[in-house]
């Protein structure tokens, strides 16, 4: 039998496996014991407490000492300059602050009128009421006071030193090492990876990044022919389109280390920290090449220079200058690629976008219908779906959704199914989730009486004109159930994806927006404040038609809406109007004319189809919500359906 102290030595294979297992991980520091510095601090605390409580005496008021001395109850007084007196009672008196307790034999007091003290002591000595009086030299207490101040200073300095020592150990680079160290997080092969199989709806963007992956996997293939891989790739697109996901999938596909950092993490409270962090990040990347550096929201530090309030000495600009220098300083044989993401490419500094830095600009658009189907399939992998769920139909009814919004839609559907205690997610769960995402959660129906009737006719007006106008998107649902800030909603879904919009469709859309207000006037002979958002939206569209898109015959093909964009703040500061007051008046007149024509068109359509308007409103008052099938059954085939079937523009007569 082996003795307890004899342990078998690990084999070389075990050692190599152990070292390989810890190669990508940070070595664990042993659990800290009880540091000796704490003992030192505790010793200082005890010494200070001892000096402050030396002798166990209690401070008493000088007036109380005089009172007791006149009664002959003070045996000895010792004067310690400049204002302290020590003494001893003949018989410890009762504590003036606590009548149930007696004072200790010794006391300490403080006096500020030394002349009166000397005269009082002289009188007591003559009357033989004081047995002993002694005055210490002036500097006798200075050493004790100096020692107390010294020990207190050492105590507080020891605490500060201990705190920074603990922080510096975790930082790894001295007292302020963490500020200069890059905050980038490293994802290695041992982590859960994402590849291009986890990315759907971005086929064109994936094609652009395949060359980057190929270079990282086989850089010699490009070097032999003299080709250079792009130094940087800029991913630009709307929020939620999957830029960060695409960067992580690129790193996972290439199988190289991935350093992720946000642009705002470079900026700290100390000047020069951002540039120092950039240097540390690129130094680490060079040591781990081939690798990928991913800077998310690079517009936080990459905005155009010269716009900051601090001029050329602005901390953000120094950080940007360091990024430019590091990207241009990569040697040709280093396979370290920078991928950055932003949804504001218009505010980035031109030096950041030039060839040699971010050579490739990859636009990540919102997914098409096929892309949305693929995204839905990715996000529903781990979700049990009922046979009634049709992902093709869901994708067709979610035009304009980004990848993040589709993920949220799937999650909301799963939550709705779990709330109903179902084990599978059904199509009705997706319908409910879609309504919640687009229109907001339903609120308690607070509409009563005339106000409820008014809302029903308002929404019926919107829905009916959308049903009659072939250029308007199809009506998906109309409801008078309050959702979000709205008392009622008419939800439209386009039949196909549109990337541009024509003048006829805009005029039809304005008529539909004005339909709710026109229905109120037609039925109740008054307008309500509920049409405020409709008027605001219609005015915005009409202004763009006139001032941006040249859709006015009187104004002509001119764009007047020229706004100054501040590159540092990234916001429209003010309108820079470069046209005369007469032209401005003409623009306003044209906008007003377009809106009046739209309102007249809405009133005309509703007057011609008043019977259908009444049917819709009564059905809404009865059921509160109507879908496409119910609308078709109620007022016949829509103009959009007739147009698809080739039956003309489709103008319903009732």
**Is pLDDT at 433 greater than 70 in this prediction?**
yes
pLDDT tens-place string over residues 286-311 = 888 788 888 888 888 888 876 554 44
What's the pLDDT band for 142 if we cut at 50, 70, 90? low
Write out the DSSP string of 332-357.
Answer: TT--EEEEEEES-GGGB-HHHHSTTT
Lowest mean pLDDT, pick from 112-116, 310-314, 422-426, 435-439: 310-314
* Class of the CATH domain delimited by 185-364: alpha beta
Residues 504-512, mean pLDDT to the nearest whole number = 93
User: Concatenated DSSP letters for 35-54?
Assistant: -HHHHHHHHHHHHHHHHHTG
Q: Residue 100: CB partners within 8 Å, gap ≥ 6?
A: none
Q: Is the pLDDT reported for residue 597 higher than 80?
A: yes
Average of pLDDT values for 471-492?
Answer: 84
Where in the chain are the domains?
A: 35-175, 185-364, 369-439, 449-644
pTM attached to this predicted model = 0.65
Q: Greatest CA span in the chain, whole angstroms? A: 131
| DSSP β-bridge partners for residue 77 | 87, 133
Q: Which residues are annotated as a binding site?
A: 237-244, 458, 462, 534
pLDDT at 23 over 60: no
Rounded to 10°, the helix 515-524/610-623 angle is: 100
Interval 420-439 mean pLDDT: 88
Rounded distance between C-alpha atoms, residue 627 and residue 474, angstroms: 11
Q: What percent of the chain has pLDDT over 70?
A: 77
Across the range 461-479, mean pLDDT stands at 89
Active site residues: 459
CA distance 67 to 70: 5
Of 236, 323, 238, 308, nearest to 275 by C-alpha is: 323
Distance of alpha carbon 228 from alpha carbon 221, whole angstroms: 11
What is the C-alpha separation between 81 and 108, in angstroms, rounded?
13
Q: Which CATH number fits domain 369-439: 1.10.3720.10, 3.40.50.11540, 3.40.50.970, 1.10.8.60?
A: 1.10.8.60
Q: Count of residues for the chain? A: 654
Q: What is the pLDDT of residue 69?
A: 84
| Mean pLDDT of all residues in 104-117 | 81
> pLDDT at residue 285 above 60?
yes
Binding-site sequence positions for ATP:
237-244
Alpha-carbon distance of 285 to 336, in angstroms, equals: 7
Q: In which band, very low, low, confident or very high, does the pLDDT at 26 lie, cut at 50, 70 and 90?
A: very low
CATH number of 35-175: 3.30.720.210
CB 296 within 8 A of CB 244: yes
Pairing mode of beta strands 474-479, 358-364: unpaired
Region of poorest pLDDT, from 133-142, 272-281, 304-313, 626-635? 304-313
Q: Is 279 exposed, middle or buried (0-12, 13-18, 19+ CB in 10 A)?
A: middle
The CA distance from 357 to 353, in Å, is 6
The CATH superfamily of 449-644 is Peptidase M41 (1.20.58.760)
CA–CA separation, 380 vs 100, rounded Å? 78
Higher pLDDT, 98 or 139: 98
Q: How confident is the model at residue 510 (pLDDT cuts 50, 70, 90)?
A: very high
Contact between 177 and 171 under an 8 Å Cβ cutoff? The reply is yes
What pLDDT does 348 receive?
87
């Amino acid at each position: 039998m082996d003795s307890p102290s004899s342990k078998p030595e690990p084999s070389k294979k075990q050692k190599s496996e152990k070292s390989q297992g810890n190669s990508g991980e940070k070595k664990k520091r042993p659990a800290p014991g009880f540091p000796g510095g704490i003992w030192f601090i505790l010793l200082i605390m005890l010494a200070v407490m001892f000096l402050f409580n030396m002798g166990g005496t209690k401070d008493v008021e000088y007036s109380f000492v005089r009172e007791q001395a006149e009664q002959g109850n003070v045996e000895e007084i010792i004067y310690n300059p400049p204002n302290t007196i020590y003494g001893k009672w003949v018989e410890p008196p009762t504590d003036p602050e606590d009548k149930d307790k007696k004072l200790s034999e010794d006391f300490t007091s403080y006096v500020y009128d030394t002349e009166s003290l000397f005269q009082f002591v002289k009188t007591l000595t003559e009357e033989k009421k004081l047995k002993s009086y002694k005055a210490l030299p002036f500097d006798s207490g200075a050493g004790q006071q100096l020692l107390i101040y010294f020990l207190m200073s050492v105590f507080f300095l020891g605490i500060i030193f201990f705190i920074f020592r603990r922080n510096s150990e975790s930082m790894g680079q001295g007292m302020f090492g963490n500020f200069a160290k890059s905050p980038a997080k490293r994802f290695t092969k041992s982590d859960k990876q994402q590849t291009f199989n986890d990315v759907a709806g971005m086929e064109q963007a994936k094609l652009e990044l395949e060359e980057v992956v190929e270079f990282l996997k086989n850089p010699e293939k490009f070097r032999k022919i003299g080709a250079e891989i792009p130094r940087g790739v800029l991913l630009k697109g709307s929020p939620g389109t999957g830029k960060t996901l695409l960067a992580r999938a690129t790193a996972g596909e290439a199988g190289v280390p991935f350093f992720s950092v946000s642009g705002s993490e470079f900026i700290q409270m100390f000047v020069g920290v951002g540039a120092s962090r950039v240097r540390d990040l690129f130094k680490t990347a060079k040591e781990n090449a081939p690798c990928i550096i991913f800077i998310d929201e690079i517009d936080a530090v990459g905005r155009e220079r010269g716009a900051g309030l601090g001029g050329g000495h602005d901390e953000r600009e120094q950080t940007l200058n360091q990024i430019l220098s590091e990207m241009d300083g990569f040697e040709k044989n280093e396979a370290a690629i920078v991928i950055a993401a932003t949804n504001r490419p218009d505010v980035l500094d031109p030096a950041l976008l030039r060839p040699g830095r971010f050579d490739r600009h990859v636009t990540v658009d919102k997914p098409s219908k096929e892309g949305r189907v693929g995204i839905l399939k990715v996000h529903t992998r781990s979700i049990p779906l009922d046979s009634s769920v049709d992902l093709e139909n869901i994708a067709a009814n979610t035009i304009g959704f980004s990848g993040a919004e589709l993920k949220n839609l799937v999650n909301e559907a799963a939550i709705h199914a779990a709330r109903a205690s179902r084990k599978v997610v059904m199509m009705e769960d997706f319908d409910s989730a879609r309504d919640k995402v687009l229109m907001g959660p339903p609120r308690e129906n607070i509409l009563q009486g005339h106000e409820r009737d008014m809302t029903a006719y308002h929404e019926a007006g919107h829905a009916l004109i959308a049903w009659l106008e072939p250029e308007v998107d199809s009506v998906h649902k109309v409801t008078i159930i309050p959702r979000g800030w709205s008392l009622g909603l008419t939800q439209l879904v386009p039949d196909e994806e549109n990337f541009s919009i024509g003048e006829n469709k805009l005029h039809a859309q304005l008529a539909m927006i004005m339909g709710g207000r026109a229905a109120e006037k037609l039925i109740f002979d008054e307008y309500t404040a509920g049409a405020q958002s409709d008027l605001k939206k219609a005015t915005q569209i009409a202004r763009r038609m006139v001032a941006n898109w040249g859709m006015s015959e009187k104004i002509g093909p001119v764009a007047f809406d020229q706004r100054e964009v501040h590159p540092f703040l990234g916001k429209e500061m003010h309108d820079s109007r470069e046209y005369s007051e007469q032209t401005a008046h003409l623009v306003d007149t044209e906008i007003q004319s377009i809106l009046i024509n739209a309102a007249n068109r809405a009133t005309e359509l509703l007057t011609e189809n008043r019977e259908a308007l009444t049917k819709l409103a009564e059905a809404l008052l009865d059921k509160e919500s109507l879908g496409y099938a119910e609308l078709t059954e109620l007022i016949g085939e829509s103009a959009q359906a007739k147009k698809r079937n080739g039956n003309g523009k489709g103008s319903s007569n009732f």
